[in-house]
Amino acid sequence: MTPILELDHLTRAFGGLKAVDDVTTQVNQGELFGLIGPNGAGKTTLFNLISGFTPPSSGEVRFKGEVITGLSAHKIAHKGMSRTFQNLRVFPNMTVFDNISVGALGMIGVGPMSSLFGGKARAKEISERSYEMLERVGLADHADDLAANLSYGKRKYLEIARALAMKPELLILDEPAAGMNDSETTELAQFITGLNKEGLTIMLVEHDMGLVMGICERLVVLASGRKIADDVPAVVRQDPGVLEAYLGGDEG
Amino acid sequence: MLDPYILQQLAIGLSLGMIYALMAIGFTLIFGVLNVVNFAHGEVYTIGAFAGLMAISAFGPPLLVVLFIALAAGALAGFGLERLAFRPFRRFSDEASLKSRAMREATLMSSLAMSIIAREAMEMIFGSQFQTVDLAYLINKPIHIGPITIVNGDLIILGVTLVMLGGLQWLLKKSPIGLSIRAVSNNALGAKYCGINTDRTIIITFVIGSAMGALAGILVGLYYGAIFPSMGFTPGIKAFVAMVMGGLSSVPGAVISAIILGLSESLSTSFMPSVWSDMVAYAFLLLTLIFFPQGLFGARRERV
């Protein structure tokens, strides 16, 4: 299996606190990979190290074999890694269609001159791609609505569609099930599995075990910034260290 | 039938409003992407006027070329301004610091500093008095329409502003760069993770806004025949008021407010001394802040 994303001894310290402590793992091509851990385990920090938001204190991140540590977020996005956010970052005062177009635009990438005199062909490419994604997540009827007027659940799908419009090779979803009820989570799980079946590599960062255990092929568990498990869900579920981290030593 | 005097004042007020609108757009666009007020915007207006003036005295080009030179000077000023007064404070890319209070305060001081430096430099080079403008370039040839008299400058200002507003609207709504500007205004971090180069988008926003401000400067300079280093101060304040009235980051809101402001100022001279007309803007600002803190058109208008 070829790795698409490799984390090599990643550490990020804030003062004396190591939010991410020497994490080494990899995500393979075509995998549905889960990153879990209790609150404060360092998931978000690790995520930010991967997507170029914060530079690591030491260690490196490789994407498709290329070192991407220290690159700015938009350049990493251009390389084919796109993400969604736990607390949504849709563009509230733009239409649903325009929201997705931004993703398509970012994927195509524009120089300063060509952005002004873009040419019809590219505009057409952007709009076709955007409509395709709208259909994909079932938001075609809402194309002209302002994103702010969508329900919370629909905005989640909007953000996923925006990320997909960038034609990513690796899609990272940050707590996509947060704030969803059971039936919505099941629907989301099906959607994610569907994307993965089409060959998209997906990394799921979750606080909640349910979704991850159900659909991921492999899991990494973080606790206090350290990797405490890295295996298939069935094994991770039985891991005493994981149980302790999640349930606490005494009660567990 | 309206009194001819009122009609006359309305025509003048419309020109005034259009000028404020051109300036207010710069404030609004920049506030949209960075949540900061660019206090050097008034000086960009002056730079536009001086650039046009220098072109006129150097080689006497046609009016349209003068306007383009002012636009280019404004674009350049906007680029430099962003690099010197705004970019150095943007060391962190997370949204909390991108649109933070510390950023606002730091860039408030740095843009104010740039504005003072630019104004003083122009005073050193050109002196603080009015510059003489070649009479052939003044746009104050009277045109009689029925009972009222306007000048060709009123038509030129109206025409140029409408073209600029139309162009801006096209740019924001239809072009890729407009899409990036709107995305950054809505959520800078979200845009960045969509592969949008936020730094470049911010620079382009400064370039567009400053070009329009500089154009306003040369138009007013040729309309009144008065070009001097501190000419940008008053229109800067008026445009700032229009931005606040329009809800800070709404381009249509700012344009409508600017026109309301121009018309009101002009009409106010019919019942109070004209030197007092500046009070209208301050009164509007106070009333807006007290009664419509979200702007006259409410907060939920589309940004940019």
- Using pLDDT thresholds of 50, 70 and 90, give the confidence band for residue A163: very high
Chain B residue closest to A103 (CA)? B194
Tokens of residue A21, six digits: 């402590």
Q: How far apart are CA A27 and CA A33, in angstroms?
A: 7
What letter represents residue B190's amino acid? G
- Going by pLDDT thresholds of 50, 70 and 90, the confidence category of residue B113 is very high
Contacts made by residues A109-113, CB under 8 angstroms, sequence distance 24+: A109/A78, A109/B195, A110/B176, A110/B177, A110/B180, A112/B200, A112/B204
- CB A120, CB A128: distance < 8 Å: no
Nearest CA to A57 among A25, A6, A23, A34?
Answer: A23
- In order of their start, the domains of chain A are 1-80+168-252 (3.40.50.300), 92-167 (no CATH)
Count of residues for chain B?
Answer: 304
Per residue in A114-129, pLDDT (tens digit) is 555 556 677 778 888 8
pLDDT range class, residue A112, cuts 50, 70, 90: very low
DSSP B137-163: G----EEEETTEEEEHHHHHHHHHHHH
Asked whether the predicted pLDDT for residue A248 surpasses 80, the reply is: no
Query: How far is residue A246's CA from residue B10's CA, in Å, rounded to a whole number?
Result: 72
Round to whole Å and give the CA distance between B252 and B257. 8
The rounded mean pLDDT for chain A is 86
Mean pLDDT score, A163-174: 92
- Compare A87 and B28 and report the one with higher pLDDT: B28
| pLDDT reading at B167 higher than 90 | yes
What's the pLDDT at B301? 46
What ipTM score was computed for the predicted complex, to two decimals?
0.86
| B168 in A contact zone (CB under 8 Å) | no
Q: Read off the pLDDT of each residue in B163-177 and give the average, rounded to a whole number.
A: 92
Mean per-residue pLDDT, B46-59: 95
* Residue of chain A nearest B182, judged by CA positions: A94
- Indicate the SS3 state at residue A7: strand
Residues in chain A: 252
Collapsing DSSP to helix, strand or coil, A10 comes out as: strand
Which of A47-56, A95-104, A115-124, B3-12 has the highest mean predicted lDDT (pLDDT)? Answer: A95-104
The answer to whether A156 faces chain B, any CB pair under 8 Å, is no
In the predicted model, is pLDDT for residue B98 greater than 80?
Answer: no
Residue B242 neighbours by CB under 8 Å, 6+ apart: B20, B21, B23, B24, B27, B254, B255, B257, B258, B261
Q: Do B175 and A118 touch (CB under 8 A)?
A: yes
User: Which residues in chain B (77-106) have CB-CB distances under 8 A to chain A?
Assistant: 93-94
Q: Which chain B residue has the Cα nearest residue A97? A: B179
| Structural domains of chain B, ranges and CATH numbers in brackets | 4-291 (1.10.3470)
Taking 90 as the threshold, does the pLDDT of residue B148 lie above it?
no
Whether the CB of A38 is below 8 Å from some CB of chain B: the reply is no
Q: Which of residues 211-230 of A touch B (CB under 8 A)?
A: none
Collapse the DSSP code of A199 into the 3-class scheme (helix H, G, I; strand E, B; otherwise coil) and give the result. Answer: coil
Residue B92 has pLDDT above 70, yes or no: no
| Contact yes or no for A115 and B195 at CB 8 A | no
A109 in reach of chain B (CB within 8 A): yes
> What is the rounded average pLDDT of the residues B221-230?
93
The mean per-residue pLDDT over the stretch B175-186 comes to 91
From B91-95, B202-206, B227-231, the region with the lowest mean pLDDT: B91-95
